[in-house]
Chain A
Amino acid sequence: MNNTHSQYFLLYASCIPVKGISRSSIYDIQRNCLRLIPNLIYDVIKDAENRTAGELKKKYNNEYDKEIDIFFEELIEDELGFFTDTPKLFPKLSLAWESSSQISNAIIEIKEKSELNYNSIFSQLDDLGCTSIELRFTGSPTIDFIEHILTACNRSRIVSISMILPYADQFQIDNISYLSSKNLRVNKIIIHSAKENKKISNNYMVAKIYYTTNQLRNSSCGQICKENLIINSDLFRESQKYNSCLNKKVTITENGDIKNCPSFKKKFSNIKVKKLKEAITDAKFQELWHIRKDDINICKSCEFRYSCMDCRAYTQDPKNRYSKPLKCSYDPKTMSW
């Protein structure tokens, strides 16, 4: 590979190395996957950013020439990086995260025969630019009622809706698929406390439907495990500066309390007496939005820190605002879950 001697090796801008205490990751936020690498390799990649391959090898006293060649070849083969003569023409990806929404996602607890005005709630959310909504139903809502709620959700900026329903006899697959086929914004329906576990998805429906025997409560939220890590550009960039779960989130509970999330005790007034816009612009309400993964104990040294939800409601030490999420069993030091 002599011809690369005077060239620079770069990772594609969407492949971003992140260092952990015991190993590192390359986040591929164009193809949405993650590659684990030893920390030594992380250092080599970083060193290569401002050195030609020749200079790089020299830095390692020409003891690892072959290893470095093989390693770069591998990364090229996997389309993670490339050689270039003009590294300055390939700027890094900006990690800025900006949003034209004042609120981007909302959790709304819903019960039938509530005195809340759901129409007004959804219209306020729409005005704030909210794009995704989670509807948590309680009690035993009728199909008609759910349809009525979904119709009220039908607003221009709301593009994705997920629903959580406690199992009841009326929630047979036919009825649920009917709901989903009539409301293309619904992309996920979870029916909990069901009689069996099953997953239904097909090409004719936008939504994925899950039945689970588990009972879902507010306290079930915040689980972090290998399987629910999320790798994408939006989350990666947002979590550089903001809380990956609570930023621009709002919750309205069954009786109208306005909160950051259903699991917090603290409420910021009630929707019956205050406009949503006023409640969420309160600096106190937005305080948690600014807690970043890089501030959290243990997490700040974890190679997965820009791919998991930073739960602030359940933490190992509730007295410490920078404590690690309670429901994550990963230890970055030992690299075990």
Chain B
Amino acid sequence: MILILCESKDLSVSEVIDWISFLGYNYKRVNTDHLIDGNYTLKLNNDQVSYQSNSITDDISMIWYRGGSEVSSYKYPVLEKINAAKSRMIYNSMKMEKKMLKKSLYDNVLEKEWLSNPLQIDKLNKISTLRLAKECGVDIPSSLITNSKQELLDFLNEHKELIVKPIYEAYDFNLHKEEIYMEYTSSISLPFIQKLETTFFPSLFQERLQKEFEIRSFYLDGDFYSMAIFSQNDSQTEVDFRRYNTEKPNRSVPFKLPENIEKKLNKLMRTMELKTGSIDIVKTKDGRYVFLEVNPIGQFGMVSGICNYNLEKIIATYLIKNEKWKKQVKS
């Protein structure tokens, strides 16, 4: 059977599940954000894991891992009764407990076929990925991590235009109740740099690419399903197309990456041991295909819908095929 580990609100997963049932197969879905309130038991003595009173160790050969950010917001009644500093400490320790809780689930079902293995995903980060990409012959943006104003000025000299990016991930910051601030990619200018102190908090800077269009490519075990996104006509999305323009969505069309680019990216994905992911690329005006990043648990719904790739069915078929294969190998 197929086991799906995902967030309860993941609608794309529901659509894949509809296909799995339509094709006549069974699945079990575990909402990782409900590990606390969803009746989860791990019996260490006999390696049995169960969720909602169903075993998720027996009869499972294929696991689709869709991540899920946090184990859900659990209200700790005790925290309301103690002082703020202490409650912060307890909160942090509970956070680690929750993280390990999730890991306990993955560790105990590891001897299966994964799409993709969470332990593998955990090893990756933006910087190491860029280095691996370069090793695989993939073009990457000229990048610099520094805390020095002088280094930054030299870098600007070399590239004329720069952007700054979070080293880790784009975060949702809940600054005010009604205003959500998301850390997008932004351009930085000479006057901005001149105002900086001689040293500052280390940040990731990259050359600003002269985009012809962006490419979002969904990768599944050697196959690429790509979409070109034209965002230049619209200043709102010029630097980062995640600043969606909802009234007039960016023109997005099916795209076929040149074969040599697919080959190198395939090598990169195999090196990282990722069977699937969402790859971001920029096609520059001077013809470069520049790799930006890969999201191992990328959203595929938009690429699938706009380009009519029907990825939901393709993923369902993939899971079924590999589940059967793994079962055969076992027996």
Where the two chains meet, the residues of A that have a C-beta atom closer than 8 Å to any C-beta of B are 12-14, 30-31, 79, 82, 88-96, 98, 100-102, 129, 157, 233, 237
Chain A hits for B305, CB < 8 A: 233
**11 A-B residue contacts at CB 8 Å?**
A12-B230, A13-B253, A79-B230, A89-B257, A90-B228, A91-B256, A93-B253, A94-B254, A95-B308, A100-B15, A101-B18
Residues from 9 to 42 in B contacting A, C-beta threshold 8 Å: 15, 18-19, 21-22
The chain A residue sitting closest to B253, CB to CB, is A13
Q: Which of A30, A93, A100 contacts B249 (CB 8 A)?
A: A30
B interface list, Cβ under 8 A from A: 15, 18-19, 21-22, 228, 230, 233, 248-249, 251-258, 305-310, 312-313
Is the pair A89, B256 in contact by a Cβ cutoff of 8 Å?
yes
The 3 closest A-B pairs by CB, nearest first: A13-B253, A100-B22, A100-B18
Residues of B within 8 A of A88 (CB): 256
Contact, CB under 8 Å: B313 / A98: yes
Question: 17 more A-B contacts (CB under 8 A) besides A14-B306, A100-B22?
Answer: A12-B230, A13-B307, A14-B251, A30-B249, A88-B256, A90-B228, A90-B255, A93-B254, A93-B307, A94-B254, A94-B307, A96-B308, A98-B310, A100-B312, A101-B22, A129-B18, A233-B308
Interface of A (DSSP majority class): loop
Residues from chain A with Cβ under 8 Å of B233 in the complex: 79
Indicate if the CB atoms of A79 and B251 lie closer than 8 Å.
yes
Q: How far is the CA of A328 from the CA of B21 in the complex (A)?
A: 40
Residues of A within 8 A of B249 (CB): 30-31
Residues of B within 8 A of A233 (CB): 305, 308
A89/B307 in contact, CB under 8 A: no
Q: Is the CB of A30 within 8 A of B306?
A: yes
CB distance from A101 to the nearest CB of B (A): 8
A236 CB to nearest B CB, Å = 10
Q: Shortest beta-carbon distance, B58 to chain A, in Å?
A: 25
Give complex CA distance A14, B302 in Å.
14
Cα distance A26–B162 in the bound complex, in angstroms:
40
Bound Cα distance from A12 to B19, whole angstroms: 29
Q: CB-nearest residue of chain B relative to A233?
A: B308
Asked if B18 contacts A89 (CB within 8 A), the reply is no
CA distance A82 to B283 in the complex (A): 15
